[in-house]
Each structure stands twice: as C-alpha cells, then as structure tokens.
C-alpha cells in the first residue's frame, strides 16, 4: 500500500457498512446519508488498482472509499456535495451514493464515501485500451468515443441543474486562464529539463509554440462556469453490466483548492481532460504493440477526439445547454493538460512521461 493511502484495519469497512445499514451510531464519526443503504453480506476485499485512496468492496454490493488525509491537492470534501447534487438532479450514471462519513470532533475532515458496487466494472484504462488493441489486431472498431461524449454532456447538464445542495450551479466566470496555463508550462519545462535528455531538449525548443496556444485563452474575457468533475479522464469511466458510469468526484489531485471555496470551471476543462485521455489510450496501445500500428493509432486518436466532441455538443444542444461550452478554451486547456501530465509524471510516475510527450510530439512535429 502507498504510504499516502489511509491504513484501513481488516473488518473496518464491513463494520461501517453494517452500522450504516442498521442506522447505528458510529463512535467518533458523523454520517451524511444520501440513499438508504440495504443490508448486505459483510465479506471484504480490497480493490488493488493504483489509486490515491483505499477502496474496499463489502459483500460485492458496496464500496467504502477511505480518504487519505488532505495534503494540499484536490478537495475530497467536495465529492459528497456533488454526489448529493447529482442525485437531486436525477443523474443515475454514477455508483449509487449511500453516505459520506466524517471524523467528529477536532478533526472534521471526510473519512470515507460509501457507494454502490458495480458488478464486472472495468475502468477506461483497461476497457478502452483493450478495445483499441482488439481493433489493431483485426477485431471490431473501437467505437467508444461517442458514448463518452454523451456521458460527459449528460454529466454537465446534471451539474448545471439547480438543487438544494447547489442552488446556482451556473455562473459567469472571469479568470486569467492563460496565466494559469503558462505557470503549468513553466513547471513542466523545469521538471522535464532536469532530465537533460532528448525530451527535455525537444520541449525547450517548442516552448514558444506551446505558450502561444495556451495564450489563445486570453481571447475569452468571460464565460460560463459550473462545478466540474475536475479530473475527468477515461480512468474515471467504468464500463459495467449496466453500461457506462462516471466515478471519483474528488477533483484534480494536482490542484489545491482553498478551504471553503467551491471550485468552478468552464465545461471545456472536463472535455479537454477527457479528449486528451483518449490520446493517452492511443499512446498506451501504441507502446503495447511496439509501434507496429502507429499510423492506425494516430488516425484512431484523431477520429475519436472528433467523435467525442461531436457527441458532446449534440447532447448539449438536445438539452438546450450549448452555452455551457466555450470551444475557444478547448485547445489551450488541452495543451495545459498535457503539461500537467508531464508534471505528474516527473513528480510521481516517471514511466508515464512517454504518453504526454507522445501527444505533444504529434501536435508540434
């Protein structure tokens, strides 16, 4: 287990679920309930995929996600509000939210989020990559991008619907998005330059072009903002027996959110993250097939990102909410996202650098 993950004693998750299902008090904890939690078997198993927090499946029906202590990145306490807001808006394409559990007393932070378990679920880093590799091996086309675009649009429509939790979710926002993006570019340059390798030299030579694309956001003086997902990539989209579901509303772990501040962003931020993650799917598939199908992977990435955006815009139009999306911010946010990926790789996962570098090389070579 990663040292940043909360250490969860065996049996703690089952005991929590049992107490919630039977509406018993929890010593040292307070509970915010969303949907009644039915009784279920109490066997436990740990979800072993890499993740920031620790998730335990109880009775093959419930997931208890134990939150790590806040360390300045993301805003995990926002997840319960967004889950309550989405439930009130009738959005069902997420695991059923049962409860949020908080530490009581001096430490009042979020301890755990309890949601429904989705049988046979796989996240997009598995099912999207597998679908693309199947296509490259002569199987059926990996036509998944349109469904992702519809899901993202339905999510944004729900997030933009007023509720008792968030009464005015849509506002007009003004911020120097270019300054934010250029700061991330500077960080990426500094971190990659430390390697003093081919990637570092390549990135240094193209800084003016990357900066110019980020600065295109200066044309946007103001635009609509909503409470976003905040970290929307294919890994947050589960494919299960019932279709697709979006999960993990903790926000971007690389972004600090001041206490008491409700994060709002242009919808284009989520769309940029989701589109670039499809390009990362292509990079993963390209690496796993030793580059044998690189032209086909490149073509798939181009078509998939276009199809995702088209489906997203079509769904917004059907709901009368096209004003939520400002396309002028899309490319600046996409370039910024790849720079964030480089920063993440340098700080936490060096082997991941090939994916954002592959995308940037395709864009700027």
Segment 33-62 mean pLDDT? 86
**Rounded mean pLDDT of 266-274?**
98
Q: Which residue from 247, 248, 254 is spatially nearest to 71, judged by alpha carbons?
A: 254
Pairing of strands 97-103, 171-173: unpaired
d(CA 365, CA 362): 6
**pLDDT tens digits for range 99-130:** 999 988 766 788 999 999 999 999 999 999 99
Kindly report, residue by residue over 291-342, the tens digit of the pLDDT: 999 999 999 999 999 999 999 999 999 999 999 999 999 999 999 999 999 9
Helices (H), the chain: 12-21, 78-88, 124-136, 145-159, 177-193, 198-205, 207-214, 267-288, 294-318, 330-347, 354-364
* pLDDT confidence bin for 156, thresholds 50/70/90: very high
Q: Do residues 94 and 79 touch, judged by C-beta distance below 8 A?
A: no
Q: Is 20 exposed, middle or buried (0-12, 13-18, 19+ CB in 10 A)?
A: buried
Structural contact between residues 169 and 227, judged by C-beta atoms closer than 8 angstroms: yes
Residues 6+ apart with CB under 8 A from 61: 38, 40, 41, 116, 117
Task: Note the pLDDT of residue 347.
Answer: 94
Which of 48-52, 240-244, 273-277 bottoms out in mean pLDDT, i.e. has the lowest?
Answer: 48-52
Confidence of residue 48 (pLDDT cuts 50, 70, 90): confident
- Tell me the CA end-to-end span of the chain in Å, nearest whole number: 40
Whole-number percent of the chain with pLDDT over 70? 91
pLDDT at 72: 46
Q: With pLDDT > 90 as the criterion, what percentage of the chain qualifies? A: 79
Distance, in Å, from the CA atom of 272 to the CA atom of 305, rounded to the nearest integer, reads: 10
- Secondary structure letter of residue 83 according to DSSP: H
Average pLDDT on 187-193 reads 97
Kindly tell me if the per-residue pLDDT of 198 is higher than 50. Answer: yes
Query: Is residue 13 pLDDT above 70, yes or no?
Result: yes
Tell me how far apart the alpha carbons of residues 164 and 86 are, in angstroms, rounded to a whole number. 11
Query: In 10 A of CB 331, how many CB atoms?
Result: 16
Contact 304, 278 (CB under 8 A): yes
Structure tokens at 87: 């439930």
Q: How high is the pLDDT of residue 223? A: 97
- Nearest Cα residue to 337 out of 273, 287, 283: 273
Question: pTM of the predicted model, to two decimals?
Answer: 0.91
- Averaged pLDDT, 154-170: 96
CB atoms within 10 A of CB 153: 26
For 12-81, the DSSP string reads HHHHHHHHHHTT---TTEEEEESSPPPP----EEE--S--SSEEEEETTTEEEEEPPPP-SSB-TTHHHH
The predicted-structure confidence for 60-86, as pLDDT tens digits, reads as follows 999 999 987 654 444 557 889 999 999
The label of the residue with tokens 């292509």 reads 282
pLDDT of amino acid 206 = 98
| Placement of tokens 């609509």 in the chain | 224
Q: What confidence category does residue 94 fall into, taking pLDDT thresholds of 50, 70 and 90? A: very high
Domains by residue range for the chain, with CATH: 12-116 (3.30.200), 122-364 (3.90.1200.10)
């Amino acid at each position: 287990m990663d040292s940043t993950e909360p250490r969860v004693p065996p049996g703690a998750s089952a005991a929590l679920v049992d107490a919630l299902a039977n509406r018993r008090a929890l010593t040292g904890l307070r509970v915010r309930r969303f949907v009644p939690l039915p009784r279920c078997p109490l066997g436990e198993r740990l979800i072993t995929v890499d993740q920031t927090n620790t998730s335990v499946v109880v009775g093959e029906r419930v997931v208890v996600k134990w939150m790590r202590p806040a360390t300045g990145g993301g805003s995990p306490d926002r997840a319960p509000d967004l889950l309550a807001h989405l439930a009130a808006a009738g959005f069902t394409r997420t695991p059923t939210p049962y409860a949020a559990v908080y530490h009581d007393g001096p430490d009042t932070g979020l301890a755990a989020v309890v949601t429904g378990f989705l049988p046979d679920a796989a996240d997009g880093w598995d099912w999207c990559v597998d679908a693309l590799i199947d296509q490259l091996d002569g199987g059926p086309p990996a036509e998944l991008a349109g469904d992702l675009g519809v899901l993202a649009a339905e999510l944004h429509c729900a997030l933009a619907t007023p509720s008792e939790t968030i009464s005015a979710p849509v506002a007009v926002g003004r911020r120097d998005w270019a300054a934010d993006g250029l700061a991330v570019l500077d960080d990426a340059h500094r971190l990659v330059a430390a390697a003093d390798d081919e990637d570092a030299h390549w990135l240094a030579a193209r800084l003016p072009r990357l900066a110019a694309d980020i600065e295109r956001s200066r044309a946007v003086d103001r635009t609509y903002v909503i409470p976003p997902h905040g970290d929307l990539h294919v890994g947050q989209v589960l494919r299960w027996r019932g279709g697709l579901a979006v999960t993990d509303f903790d926000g971007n772990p690389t972004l600090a959110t001041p206490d008491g501040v409700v994060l709002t962003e242009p919808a284009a931020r989520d769309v940029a993250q989701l589109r670039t993650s499809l390009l990362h799917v292509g990079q993963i598939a390209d690496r796993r097939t030793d580059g044998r199908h690189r032209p086909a992977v490149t073509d798939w990435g181009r078509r998939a990102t276009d199809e995702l955006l088209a489906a997203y815009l079509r769904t917004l139009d059907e709901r009368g909410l096209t004003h939520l999306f400002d396309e002028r911010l899309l490319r600046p946010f996409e370039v910024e996202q790849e720079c964030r990926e480089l920063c993440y790789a340098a700080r936490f996962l060096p082997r991941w650098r090939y994916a954002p570098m592959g995308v940037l090389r395709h864009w700027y070579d």
